[in-house]
Structure 1
């Protein structure tokens, strides 16, 4: 019976994956999607180039036009590339950092700006110039300057994309790692007779493409002829069609987006099992949750096949990996304890992680780029970074359990047995997190010795990893010697996570200094993070006050009872004497 319920849940999760039947239909623009391009150090389909370019400039995978209609990223990219409108005036470039907008004299409430507006902003140009001067002198940049360089990159990407005619789509004749050329310069490697028909097909493609025209027949014909002609120029050098299709499938399947939706359904199902106090839905919820982990794993497999490495080299990949780690660890603990609370604590956090990765492309860049030199040793990359991020996942799971326990303290203070059980679970998860983080720090030290010639250098990333470890070791030892009890370990699981947040988010987004520069990025909102942390600490404070009041209440009642008993005794004695 349990197996049947589990299979039903698993099938429900699988059904959620396959329901959008259209995702498996071949796009009429597939010849364009799978057109190979050598860009940013690797060969990738035009579909990927379009997604990365539009997301980088616009901060979204689609563009909402003035008439309210939307263009997907491929059509937006083609519109940019073919320059079928005045893109100088289109408010297309994302610019969200308010302090820099005010400093540059731009409208602080506006989110998107035109190429011409940003190019004319002298205030922005001054900040960019200062940032470049500091880079030349090897000085640390301020947040404004780092954001200004990001805007400069978007402006440059816009300039390079609009009216583009130099896309390197012509493969090298003989060398796998040779430089690809554009159609305009391909006569350096091929004869005019070989290139002229391809150039004609490309010109036909430019002339016939119209995003508003539903008849794509002439576009598809020209794209197919161009794709096949390029592949035949150098069949041994041109990427295999299966590899190009796999990468296109990865982007269109949206595995990580599907995973968070399935996790959300599993959370609701598990919540119902707790509310109804029945195991009827329990194994079904487990099955749905397993389906979420399966599709999450499938997404990782596809990304690893595309990238040729573990998917843990930037903030986007670490956020997705932590979301997966929270779910996987929760399932492992759940299957060994049947506590129900692991899935309840993990699912919202996994959903949050994957939603951020899915919805914030301007902040969490999902593009697959070649590794920086220090990361090219796949052995250390494959063990150090996943271990560190799994420790973050463990601490995040403890954070979720701590919230559930404090929720009971606040709204159901009589559920002492549940709070005690949750505290034990939180303690176990923190132990796992400490073990993983300690191992990760040691492995990182060994890798640092191999790469940089020293085991420890008080780099900001190293320092905050150590601080995070100490923040969890203190409550673990405090509980061991009896300094803190169940309530204290729950509070510690929430408060100590702020150190993890600093090591994970703060060093990359706020400090932006140190040898771990390959993880640095911009676009994060400190105000949002501070607000969330403040609300969370307020929740902990309110729960603590409630806990202290509940601890003092029994003592008061006990004193009143003793006083009442003494009064009754005296009264009886008086009556007997009388």
Structure 2
């Protein structure tokens, strides 16, 4: 192939950027309603002010397992679905959104369909199986009491010991509870004209310290109490100029405050107008109300509005998902460069890797800005950061060696870690508030970042070693020069991993001493961090002492993947220690499978050299006196 022209590379870059920015061209204007502006309105939930769009996306993801809802003619975006839930609950209740994962698959293992049916969640409540396993709130409503009773019984069982039925019934109950709270966040579900009710209060209520003396009916007062207790998020900001996040109120609380103290908050009639206009299918009034309320918020809370807009755009772009997809393309191009057109495809892969790394970095920096925290605050962000660190190191490797290996390994680690992050996001908001003990000083932030970079470096060394084994055992492409380059890469990255892991572990001890009064407590997570340091040190000493050569170094580096994955994920599942984040039944089999796969590659790595395909090719093409120099 002829030497690549610069304009082709720029065309590839332009196409990549166009793919990343494409979601911004989408507009949520179903029925003429300005849904995008609605989604950018800030609300308070779980201690963090966020756009309504984030609430919608996370809620739909938890309830439905997806961030879109397929309907008869197209699909609903998250904010369109949430608007319907809050303002047209009658229609929303008919949407089949609840995922019910029954045990009917046991029929495939030799049980009759009737037996499988009797063991399913649906059969427990007299419901017939649906081929799509999706059910509406209206269909499940008659069985809510029994579902709650079964969930309470299941919650008494330890997480590790719960049956599939018990896990599913708990999840179903949690989803139903979330849905119920969402549809009672602005108005009591089923309200026909919330604005008329608010106007009636403004015109006829005489505020009094004792609500019953204000002229409000007992039924209306009970409804407001219900809204105060049941509402999911806090849509009413504090009274300007107060900007305290703790002063946000639920709708029911704010109306009750007017009844007892007077001065109706301007956000209450604004939300009421939105709800009534949407229910009456009046887009003109709805859009005017959204614009008016947005302007009021911009005037009094400009920083909150700006951050809500940034987060809404961040949600729309989904930079980590885009990066995950492009990493696959980069991996394919880099691997193809080992077979044909090495310079051209290798250059395309590297340029795409740099562009995708920028996207990955922008997503990471945006999260840091929105949270006001270091890059690693929970398990989700650790997955994002591990991928980012591995890709950064891979870029340096590729820039130095220019053989496609740095691009390929960086891309595959970037893809896997972002895929892990994607599945971790299924639990809801990934920008959760940090616990007080974790939000203390700079020692912790530095410790977590350094340890996570240690994870990234160790994984990169392990995947470089996997490249050596796969290319050596299954392809003829592992020549002497490539083997030497891979050996140098692995050795250098292990040195980095040892440094990052050791410094990070020491910093963690300093923070623990300041926070808990002890430097080391033999906590499983602490032991895991020490294992990574020790294993990387063992690799270096084995290499320095001549105990292992190229293949031995690679096999030991692959085992580093096992050590790191256990230290990163495994110790969280033990259910003990200060770093236990809960047993994740869905992740445990994958962790075991990953560990076994690495052991399998290690066994391949220690096979006699003559069984490797690269060694066979070297035997056919290399004189006997040169065979001793072939990769060993």
Of 461, 474, 487, which aligns to 1:411?
474
Of 113, 121, 134, which aligns to 1:106?
121
Distance 1:344 1:90 in 2: 44
Matched, 1:204 2:276: yes
SS at match of 2:464: helix
Distance 1:151 1:513 in 2: 27
What does residue 385 of structure 1 align with? 448
Distance 2:452 2:92 in 1: 41
- Structure 1 unaligned blocks of 5 or more: 132-140, 210-214, 562-578
* CA positional deviation for 1:466: 1.6
- Structure 2 unaligned blocks of 5 or more: 29-33, 107-115, 124-128, 187-230, 625-632
Give CA deviations for 1:234-278 in whole Å, capped at 9, x if unaligned.
x43465432221111111111112222333333333334322254
In 2 relative to 1, CA 522–90 (structure 1 residues): closer, same or farther, beyond 3 Å? Answer: farther
* CA positional deviation for 1:85: 3.8
Within a 5 Å distance, the mapping from 1:118-197 to structure 2 comes to: 120-121=146-147, 122-130=149-157, 142=160, 144=162, 153-165=174-186, 166=231, 167-173=233-239, 174-177=241-244, 178-187=246-255, 188=257, 191-192=263-264, 194=266, 197=269
What does residue 540 of structure 2 align with? 476
* CA positional deviation for 1:315: 1.3
Matched, 1:59 2:59: no
Distance 1:75 1:465 in 2: 45
Matched, 1:252 2:316: yes
Distance 1:328 1:107 in 2: 49
Matched, 1:511 2:529: no
In 2 relative to 1, CA 435–193 (structure 1 residues): closer, same or farther, beyond 3 Å? Answer: closer
* CA positional deviation for 1:503: 1.2
Distance 2:91 2:477 in 1: 66
Check conservation: 1:406, 1:490, Cα contact below 8 A: yes
Check conservation: 2:570, 2:591, Cα contact below 8 A: no
In 2 relative to 1, CA 68–446 (structure 1 residues): closer, same or farther, beyond 3 Å? Answer: farther
Within a 5 Å distance, the mapping from 1:3-152 to structure 2 comes to: 9=9, 12-19=12-19, 21=22, 23-24=24-25, 27=28, 28-65=34-71, 67=72, 69-85=74-90, 92-94=97-99, 106=121, 116=140, 120-121=146-147, 122-130=149-157, 142=160, 144=162
* CA positional deviation for 1:105: 5.5
* CA positional deviation for 1:506: 1.3
Give CA deviations for 1:36-88 in whole Å, capped at 9, x if unaligned.
212211222111111222223333212335x4843221122223223534766
Q: Which moves more between the two structures, 161-170 or 423-432?
A: 161-170
What does residue 565 of structure 1 align with? none
Distance 1:470 1:113 in 2: 52
Q: Which moves more between the two structures, 79-88 or 423-432?
A: 79-88
* CA positional deviation for 1:6: 7.4
* CA positional deviation for 1:454: 0.7
Within a 5 Å distance, the mapping from 1:262-341 to structure 2 comes to: 262-276=326-340, 278-341=342-405
What does residue 434 of structure 1 align with? 498
Check conservation: 2:491, 2:540, Cα contact below 8 A: yes
* CA positional deviation for 1:125: 2.2
Distance 2:467 2:558 in 1: 11
Distance 2:440 2:409 in 1: 35
Check conservation: 2:388, 2:414, Cα contact below 8 A: yes
In 2 relative to 1, CA 543–279 (structure 1 residues): closer, same or farther, beyond 3 Å? Answer: same
SS at match of 1:276: coil
Give CA deviations for 1:533-567 in whole Å, capped at 9, x if unaligned.
3344334324433537569999x99xxx9xxxxxx
Using the size of structure 1 for normalisation, the TM-score is 0.81
SS at match of 2:24: helix
What does residue 458 of structure 1 align with? 522
Q: Which moves more between the two structures, 193-202 or 278-287?
A: 193-202
In 2 relative to 1, CA 8–455 (structure 1 residues): closer, same or farther, beyond 3 Å? Answer: farther
* CA positional deviation for 1:522: 3.5
* CA positional deviation for 1:304: 1.4
Distance 1:88 1:504 in 2: 41
Distance 1:70 1:511 in 2: 41
What does residue 199 of structure 2 align with? none
Check conservation: 2:490, 2:554, Cα contact below 8 A: yes
Distance 1:228 1:322 in 2: 40
Distance 1:194 1:39 in 2: 20
Give CA deviations for 1:436-473 in whole Å, capped at 9, x if unaligned.
11111111111111111111111111112222332332
Distance 1:204 1:265 in 2: 48
In 2 relative to 1, CA 199–346 (structure 1 residues): closer, same or farther, beyond 3 Å? Answer: closer
RMSD: 3.7
Check conservation: 2:85, 2:93, Cα contact below 8 A: no
Aligned length: 533
SS at match of 2:50: strand
Of 583, 586, 589, which aligns to 1:527?
589
Using the size of structure 2 for normalisation, the TM-score is 0.74
SS at match of 1:92: strand
In 2 relative to 1, CA 297–529 (structure 1 residues): closer, same or farther, beyond 3 Å? Answer: same
Distance 1:484 1:195 in 2: 70
Check conservation: 2:236, 2:267, Cα contact below 8 A: no
